[in-house]
C-alpha cells in the first residue's frame, strides 16, 4: 500500500485506498466495542447474581440473628454487595462508551456513503481530508483517536487492535466510581 493519502496526496492517491482505511477504522471500532460490551455484560450478570446471593444471606442472618458474629457476617455481606454495585456501575459506564463508539461508526459510515455517492467529492483529496477531520473531531475517547490515526498512517487492523489493547488500562483508570 502506498504512503500517499489525503494528508499529502500525490499522483498515486486513490479514493479506494481512502475508503478502505475508513472502513478499517469502522471495523476496528466495532470489534473493540463489542469485546468491551461483552466484558461489561458478563460483569453485570455476575455482579447482580452475587448481589442477590448476598442479599439473601443478609436476610437469613438478620432473621436468625442472636450473636455478635451474625452482625459481623451481615456487615461483611453488605460491604461485598456495595463492592459489586460499584463494579456494576463501572460496567454500565463501559456500555455507555460502547454506545458512543457505535454512534461514531454509524455517523462515519453515513458520511462515507454520502462522499462516495457525490462524484464532485469522490475524486477530490481535499474532500476526503475534510471528511476524515470531521470524523476524528467527533471522537471523545483517546483510544478512538489513536485507532483512527494509526489506520490513516497505514497500520493493519491487527496492529491497531494491539495498540488499543495496550492503552485500555489507561482509559479504565478514567472510569468514575460513585
For the chain, what percent of residues have pLDDT higher than 70? Answer: 91
What pLDDT, in 10s, does the model give residues 49-97? 888 888 888 878 777 777 777 778 888 888 888 888 888 777 777 777 8
The tally of CA atoms less than 13 A away on the side-chain side of residue 101 is: 26
What pLDDT, in 10s, does the model give residues 97-156? 877 888 888 888 888 888 988 889 988 999 999 999 999 999 988 888 999 999 999 999
CA distances to 66, 83, 114 from 76, in Å: 17, 11, 58
For range 30-54, the mean pLDDT: 79
pLDDT at 178 (0 to 100): 41
* DSSP string for 108-172: HHHHHHHHHH-HHHHT-HHHHHHHHHHHHHH--SHHHHHHHHHHHTT--HHHHHHHHHHHHHHHH
The tally of CA atoms less than 13 A away on the side-chain side of residue 14 is: 9
Does pLDDT of 164 surpass 90? no
Does pLDDT of 38 surpass 80? no
> What residues form DSSP beta bridges with 5?
8
What pLDDT, in 10s, does the model give residues 107-120? 888 888 889 888 89
Alpha carbons 167 and 177: distance in angstroms, whole number = 20
Q: Are 167 and 142 in contact (CB under 8 A)?
A: yes
pTM of full prediction above 0.85: no
Amino acid at each position: 500500500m502506498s504512503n500517499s493519502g489525503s494528508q499529502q496526496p500525490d499522483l498515486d492517491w486513490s479514493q479506494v485506498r481512502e475508503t478502505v482505511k475508513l472502513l478499517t477504522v469502522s471495523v476496528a471500532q466495532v470489534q473493540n466495542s463489542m469485546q468491551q460490551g461483552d466484558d461489561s455484560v458478563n460483569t453485570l450478570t455476575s455482579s447482580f447474581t452475587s448481589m442477590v446471593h448476598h442479599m439473601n444471606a443478609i436476610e437469613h442472618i438478620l432473621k436468625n440473628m442472636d450473636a455478635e458474629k451474625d452482625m459481623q457476617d451481615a456487615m461483611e455481606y453488605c460491604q461485598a454487595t456495595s463492592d459489586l454495585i460499584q463494579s456494576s456501575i463501572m460496567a454500565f459506564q463501559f456500555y455507555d462508551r460502547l454506545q458512543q463508539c457505535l454512534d461514531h461508526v454509524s455517523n462515519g459510515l453515513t458520511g462515507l456513503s454520502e462522499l462516495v455517492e457525490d462524484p464532485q467529492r469522490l475524486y477530490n483529496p481535499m474532500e476526503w481530508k475534510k471528511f476524515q477531520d470531521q470524523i476524528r473531531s467527533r471522537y471523545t475517547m483517546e483510544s478512538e483517536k489513536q485507532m483512527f490515526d494509526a489506520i490513516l498512517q497505514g497500520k493493519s487492523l491487527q496492529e491497531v487492535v494491539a495498540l488499543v489493547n495496550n492503552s485500555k488500562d489507561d482509559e479504565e483508570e478514567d472510569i468514575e466510581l460513585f
